[in-house]
Chain A
Amino acid sequence: MLPNFAYSRPRKLTDAVAHLADAKNGRVHAGGTDLIGCLRDGIFKADTLVSISGLTDLHGIEETGDGGLRIGALATITQVADHPLVKERYAGLAQGASEVASPQLRNQGTIGGNLCQKPRCWYYRGEFHCLRKGGGACFAAEGDNTFHCLFGSDDVCHITHPSDTAPNLAALNATVHITGPEGKRTVAADAFHMPPSVDVQAETVLRPGEIVTAVTLPPPPKGLRSSYRKVRARRSWDFALAGVALALQFDGDTVRNGRVFLSGAAPVPWRSQPVEKAIIGKKLDDATIKKAAKASVEGAMPLAKNGYKIGLFQGAVAEELTKIAAG
């Protein structure tokens, strides 16, 4: 049922990178919650699996010297959701993590895997040879696109990015740390995911042989309030129909600065600059919130069956802004 593959569990990061770089179709095995399903369903090929569970440096969550936070790529979603510093300083990330999947999956899945997971489009995951799998067409464009995107498809691929942690990391200005055959590099969390117009077969900017090793968060700026709101078709074990990640710096009642990312909206965590524009420099009164809610769907390109998201995003954004304004 699974393809035949070579499996290694190196102790050193350099070995892991080397194994991966040598493989024709190498895949990283961390929590495996997404990988095993993809292999079983034949979503992609894999001739080599490199387990990174033996790389002890990739575990752990700790404060950095500058007062920020480093989350090892192998930190489980549960560890992120429950960590006192995450909860205290980056509440939106803790909420996002706690809304992922189900308790079993949160215990097994990792933050690195959550960032690198494959989309959940039912055409991509089914027996449909779609663009993302190297085929000729996006089946969602004319098919059942109930769960598909409002933004950013570029008329190429209409997935929504499934991660609940990524929009929060992006909103919180996190940095993704990567090691590969060429050495180390960092990418801003908001630039980590790949728009389909650039490469429809990739979800991230990772190059062959590269491994996510950690995510770092800058020290929380003064007046930071962050939160995440997720709406789904059922109340657990489900991806976002619509979600909103807020990381706003308040000065008294006024939003001094802020970043707003939507989930369930686009093939990548979707920065909503119209919402940011509507609220920055403003007090979050009813009129501002109403305007911001409207702005959240500015430029949206609804498909035949996902038009409900227009109202849903406005509702979710309005509700979350109201809540964050209250402190």
Chain B
Amino acid sequence: MTTEKDIYYTKDIPVPETPPPGEEPAPWKRTRIIGKRVPRVDGYERVSGTAVYPSDVILPNMIHGAILRCPHPHAMVKKVDISKAEKMPGVRAVITGDSPEADLMWPYSGEVRTKLFDPHCRFEGETVAAVAADTPYQAWDAVRAIKVSYDVKKHLVDETEALTSEVSIHEGGNKVGVQTHHRGDVEKGFAAADAVVAASYRSACEIHTPIELHGCVANWDGGALTLWESTQGVYSVQSGVAEVLGMPLSKVRVIGHYMGGAFGSKLQAGKYTIIAALLARKTARPVKLFLSREETYLAVGNRPPANMTLKAGVKKDGTLTALDFTCTGASGAYPAGGTALVDWLIRDLYACPNVRTECTDVYINAGPARPFRAPGHPQASWALEQMMDALAEKIGMDPVAIRLKNVPDISQGRDRPYTTTGLRECIAKGAEAFGWETARKAAEEHNRNGGPIKRGVGMGSCVWFVGGGGPPSTVVIKLFSDGSVNLNMGASDIGTGTKTVMALVAAEELGVKPEVIQIENADTGTTQYATPSGGSKTVPTEAPTVRNAAIAVKQELLKMAARELDAEVSDLRFDADDILSSKDSSQKVNIKDLSELKKRGVVMGVGYRGPNPENKSVNPFAAQFCEVEVNTHTGEVEILRFLGTNESGRVMDRLTFDCQVLGGITMGIGFGMTEWRALDHGQTGKMLNKNWHDYKLPTALDVPMDMTSVPIEMPDPEANNTGAKGLGEPVTIPTAGAIANAVYHATGIRMTDTPINPITLNRKFAEKEG
């Protein structure tokens, strides 16, 4: 238990100065808690199991929902016979496309809306009907008892065949759209090059598959709906549900205090959210509807496959002269950003005057994509980082050196300066910390001895498209009469440590210890508006807002003290829990003794997120280095070690910072080595590996023991008043490309397609032997 006297830090570290109202606070010069290794404020609850996640919610009289999904990748629903299902024990409601209450339009994208239960099923896993029953087992039994007649249509599941296929998924063909970018003159650039390399690359479709399944508990109270949803953004779910159901925002309350992962697949309401609400309304019971693992593989998003070509020109000194990039990606069955941001690294990461990109997004009969941790970036990184190494080899240059040669001065993709860029430091300091040169030489020396185990060292670097956050955000901080604090914000903590970081910000600014801060978050009924936690923007969006709210509290306390001491606010300052006059140190009052505070019981400060700097781009940067061993007998790859450098402005909590880096590398290992969506191409078009065994996530043994996070700390005074930039996405961008480069260094084999595993390596060995 924290006792009262423990609330504040000791008096030897000053509380940050309080700016007058309307003035921006100065950057923190020295921090007492920000940047330290602080464990999660909710670590005990999460680890002990007392944290109530949406999937843990049990309400009185609650029943259970389940969804019948189309088993074919492309089919028309002809008839749905629910007569047997309706009569089964425990079944309280069955809804289909014929149910009047389900006659709603679902916005698959801004332009494309379909009926909630659309008879035209364009992907395996599309919703056909839903059931609510007393137990989940009864609900599933009833789902299986529904008889559906389908008119099974020809399907298309290979995105490379989309533009020539006879199958037309939507009227007007299978092209979702083409995005292009041109700058300079690519042909001139190639003409000026001393070496030109061209190659094709492919990254396979990756599925989010977070630990907590997608779903919610829905409960109606009169005309008001409450949803406990596993989501990255309660306000986003609120507006989505209100729109589809035609309800005022005020009548939709969404709660998501804890949630068990998402990686971009829970940024919005799902069809399942609407279906749960409809079932709950029809049965007048709370309905819990969480998808099965299999459903989440089919229907709630993916990182789309990327089929890329990249041609690059370079001068002998390593200067890039031209980059020419194409990509075909697949939105899936509906427009969903099948090539979103996939050319951003080509446009922005390395200095190059002549760039051309063309990205073609197509429809296939598979589940729609959703943003997936750094959308587009790991795909492009897979191509670009391998290309940089190929160019380096061609001109006899070191991979680190060629990248350092091409560090841009500005954000070329936007033609405006970065506020700060640590790209050069990430590469150079990372190489130093990793022991790049020694490791490269040692590996080459090792490989000369001729054994079957080859060693290789590789690296890659990155920028992330955004990462500066921005308005809007509103945060409320309440300080109680004993000096303890309540922090109220709308943002979700998606497992990244948002609550912990925000507690540190409030603690830093108020001088209190983080453990006396109670956090309420992610509830549209009781917390303030926030955008979803995604895009590596939660810290740079919410942290400055929290700081502003804390400052507002301090300003209010200073006003109270000024009245109490009959002094001027401008003469007063904080010293732990005392407020004293700079002019006369005998003029002093303890916060807990402020009579106004005692009377009111609480001081409330409201913080708003200010604007981002104009005409500048706020971006985080990273580089990663790894060493691998390849068994040339078997194609097994063992990653011996990984090191990640990240420049994300100020380090807020060193522990959550390192967790992000190690987690990002782990996910990148999955992208590069173990994960791929297998569709039954040429036969049924169905997904073959929609479970956690056949869809292989990296296990503890696939990830090296030796992983190091090296922060490149450069507080960014222009980005926001905390100096922090985003981190959650750059940590996973360069991983797979770095591994591919290390495998090449070890074997001389370019693994142009993900994943790198014994299957694909043995195929390459066989090709090599002819």
* Residues of A that sit less than 8 Å from B by CB: 1-2, 102, 120, 122-123, 125-128, 139, 142-144, 146, 231-238, 241-242, 307-312, 315-316, 318-319
Whose C-beta in chain A lies nearest to the C-beta of B760? Answer: A308
Q: State which of B407-415, B606-614, B695-703 sits at the interface with chain A.
A: B695-703
Residue of A139, A234, A310 ringed by the most chain B CB atoms within 10 A: A234
Interface centre among B631, B686, B760 (most CB of A within 10 A): B686
B646 to chain A, nearest CB (A): 26
Q: Is the CB of A2 within 8 A of B684?
A: no
Contact B682 A234 (CB under 8 A): no
Most chain B CB neighbours (cut-off 10 Å) among A123, A241, A308, A319: A308
Complex interface: stretch among B134-142, B319-327, B388-396:
B134-142
Q: Are B702 and A127 within 8 A (Cβ)?
A: no
Name which residue of chain B comes closest to A314, CB basis: B633
Given A127-B686, A234-B674, A312-B634; 17 other pairs, CB 8 A cutoff = A122-B689, A123-B688, A128-B684, A128-B686, A139-B680, A143-B682, A144-B678, A144-B688, A233-B674, A236-B702, A238-B696, A309-B762, A311-B766, A315-B633, A315-B634, A316-B634, A319-B634
Nearest Cβ on chain A to B250's Cβ, whole angstroms = 38
Check if B701 sits within 8 Å of A235, measured CB to CB: yes
When C-beta atoms are compared, the residue in chain A nearest to B681 turns out to be A144
CA distance A144 to B158 in the complex (A): 13
A122/B694 in contact, CB under 8 A:
yes
User: Which chain A residues border B136 with CB–CB below 8 Å?
Assistant: 1
User: A1 and B698: CB pair below 8 A?
Assistant: no
Q: How many residues of B sit at the interface, in one of the four size bands? A: 35 or more
Residue from the list B452, B689, B762 in contact with A319, Cβ < 8 A: B452
Query: In the bound complex, what is the Cα–Cα distance between A283 and B611 (angstroms)?
Result: 77
Expressed in whole angstroms, the Cα–Cα distance for A309 and B694 within the complex equals 18
What are 7 A-to-B residue pairs whose CB atoms are below 8 Å?
Answer: A143-B684, A231-B636, A234-B673, A234-B701, A319-B631, A319-B633, A319-B634
How distant is B339 from chain A, measured CB to nearest CB, in Å?
25
Q: Which of A126, A146, A310, A319 contacts B759 (CB 8 A)?
A: A146
Least distance between A295 CB and chain B CB atoms (Å): 16
Interface membership of B663, Cβ < 8 A? no
Interface of A: prevailing SS: loop
User: B18-42 toward A: CB 8 Å interface, digit per residue (1/0)?
Assistant: 0000000000000000000000000
B673: chain A residues at CB < 8 Å are: 234
CA distance in complex: A125, B692 (Å):
13
Given A142-B682, A142-B683, A233-B758, verify A308-B763 contact (CB < 8 Å).
yes
Chain B residues with CB below 8 A from A1, complex form: 136-137, 140-141
Q: Which residue of B lies closest to A122 (CB)?
A: B688
Complex interface residues of chain B between 602 and 637 (CB less than 8 A to chain A): 631-636
Could you tell me which B residues sit within 8 Å of A by CB distance?
71, 136-137, 140-141, 452, 631-636, 638, 673-674, 678, 680-684, 686, 688-691, 693-694, 696, 698-702, 757-760, 762-763, 765-766, 769
**In the complex, which residues of chain A have a beta carbon less than 8 angstroms from the beta carbon of B686?**
126-128
| B688 and A233 contact, CB distance less than 8 A | no
Q: How far is the CA of A183 from the CA of B763 in the complex (A)?
A: 50
- How far apart sit A280 and B158, CA to CA, in the bound complex (Å)? 49
Q: Which residues of B contact A241 (CB under 8 A)?
A: 758-759
Q: Which residue of B140, B632, B633, B757 contacts A234 across the interface (Cβ within 8 Å)?
A: B757
Expressed in whole angstroms, the Cα–Cα distance for A251 and B137 within the complex equals 61
Minimum C-beta distance from B367 to chain A (A): 16
A244 vs B757: C-alpha distance when bound (angstroms): 19
**Assembly CA distance A241 to B634 (angstroms):** 10
Picked from B688, B699, B762, the residue with its CB within 8 Å of the CB of A235 is B699
- B696 and A233 contacting across the interface, CB-CB below 8 Å: yes
Which residues from chain A contact B635 at a C-beta distance below 8 Å? Answer: 231, 308, 311-312, 315
Partner of A308, one of B690, B700, B762: B762
Inter-chain contacts of A237 with B (CB < 8 A) = 693, 699
Among A146, A232, A235, A318, the residue within 8 A (CB) of B633 is A318
Query: Does the CB pair A316–B696 fall under 8 Å?
Result: no
What is the chain B residue whose CB lies nearest that of A229? B634
For A308, list chain B residues within 8 Å (CB): 635, 758-760, 762-763, 766
A231 to B632, CA, bound (A): 12
Q: Quick one: closest B residue to A2, CB to CB?
A: B137
Q: Which residue of A lies closest to B453 (CB)?
A: A319
Cα(A142)–Cα(B693), bound, Å? 22
What residues on B are CB-neighbors of A126 within 8 Å? 686, 688, 690
| Cβ–Cβ contact B766 & A310, under 8 A | yes
* Ranked 4 nearest A-B pairs via Cβ: A315-B633, A308-B762, A235-B701, A236-B699
